[in-house]
């Protein structure tokens, strides 16, 4: 585990190598934190329901208790256009943000800072709302969108190693720090 990681940031990213590796890692972290009673908001990539669903189908599990939101659309055979359903993604982001505002959370976890977020949409409002409320945010970032995320976070994010123990250490530290700051206020 990298003991030099910044434990004072309220925003952290993680990138794991291999298709779906970041999703699996974040799922394991969320499962562990939920067992420990941590209240979470955000979204994770939902597991595929059945083999043979198109590899581009994408569903998000809205934390903490669903629903599953399909964020891709079927464009028909032979289509080469982007399958992302931006309306469905914005609806999922809006629901997650409303839940955070209404119910609060100890931690926000997002599976991905992707194209929509890089373009100023998607879950950016949720990230900003969480940070404004003092709720730490953990987000998956692929190499493709690392530069866009770094511009967005303006050097304030901690890049975590793709190790469950290190991520849990950051999450617990950020949650504890937030609780102490809330008590002092």
pLDDT tens for each residue of 20-34: 899 999 999 999 999
Q: Which residue has the tokens 């914005």?
A: 90
- 73 pLDDT tier (thresholds 50, 70, 90): confident
Residue 185: its pLDDT value, please? 61
Q: Model pTM?
A: 0.87
Please state, in angstroms and as integers, the Cα–Cα distance from residue 130 to each residue in 6, 15, 87, 185, following that order: 19, 21, 22, 17
Res 78 pLDDT > 70: no
Q: Which domains does the chain have, with CATH numbers?
A: 11-47+57-73+81-184 (3.40.50.300)
């Amino acid at each position: 585990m990298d003991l030099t990681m910044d434990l004072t940031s309220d925003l952290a990213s993680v990138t794991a190598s291999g298709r779906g590796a970041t999703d699996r890692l974040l799922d394991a972290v969320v499962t562990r934190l939920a067992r420990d009673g941590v209240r979470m908001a955000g979204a994770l990539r939902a597991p595929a329901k059945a083999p043979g669903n198109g590899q581009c189908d994408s569903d998000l599990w809205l934390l903490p208790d669903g629903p599953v939101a399909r964020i891709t659309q079927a464009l028909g055979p032979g289509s080469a256009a982007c399958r992302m359903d931006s309306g469905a993604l914005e609806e999922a982001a809006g629901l997650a943000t409303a839940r955070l505002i209404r119910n609060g959370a100890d931690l926000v976890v997002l599976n991905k800072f992707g194209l929509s977020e890089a373009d100023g949409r998607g879950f950016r409002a949720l990230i900003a709302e969480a940070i404004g409320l003092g709720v730490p945010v953990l987000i998956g970032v692929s190499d493709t969108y690392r530069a866009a995320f770094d511009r967005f976070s303006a050097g304030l994010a901690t890049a975590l190693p793709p190790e469950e123990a290190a991520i849990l250490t950051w999450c617990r530290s950020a949650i504890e720090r937030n609780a102490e700051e809330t008590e002092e206020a």
